[in-house]
Amino acid sequence: MADLSRGPGIPFPPPFVFAAGWLIAWLLNRWIPFQLDVDGPSLPQQAVGLTFIVGGLMVMAWAIQTFARAHTAVVPTAPATMLVRTGPFRFTRNPMYVGITAAYVGLAILVNVAWPFVVLPAVLIALLLVVIRREERHLQHMFPGEYPQYCSRVRRWL
């Protein structure tokens, strides 16, 4: 077992899980095209897609800024130096993953491709099993009194 005081032991940056999902969706769409709207994306559909993308990126930026203000590691390969419970972390334990999920969904809507929605459950399961569980074990190790209390008050997602 990895030394949890050195970090959560995540083997790659978490956005790679979403990038892999998009790559699989893109390959599937080349093989079997699967659009959300066969007539192409309408202006309202594009507006919804852009709203999800911008909203997701804003949540991610807010979370990164909150980590920076707390002087703790943003990248989950480094050890946590403090348990952040302010900013978006008051509402979700994983605001960066909520944000990137929203941007992923928004991009699918914007480009009018349905395959990313089909692949999304696998992306989220991989994120949970390979990334989030390791982060949670690390945080439990680093903050044994505070982290369980935080988990009891704040949901993992929303």
The arithmetic mean of pLDDT across residues 7-24, rounded, is 92
Cα 83 to its chain centre, rounded Å, is 18
pLDDT of residue 2: 61
pLDDT tens digits, one per residue of 106-158: 999 999 999 999 999 999 999 999 999 999 999 999 999 999 999 999 999 98
For residue 56, the model assigns a pLDDT of 98
Q: What is the pLDDT of residue 121?
A: 98
Residue 7 CA to its chain's centroid (Å): 18
- % of the chain surpassing 90 pLDDT: 83
**37, pLDDT greater than 90:** yes
**In the predicted model, is pLDDT for residue 81 greater than 70?**
yes
The Cβ of residue 113 has, within 10 Å, a number of other Cβ atoms equal to 21
- Judge whether residue 1 has pLDDT over 60: no
Average pLDDT, the chain: 93
Token pair recorded at residue 85: 């419970």
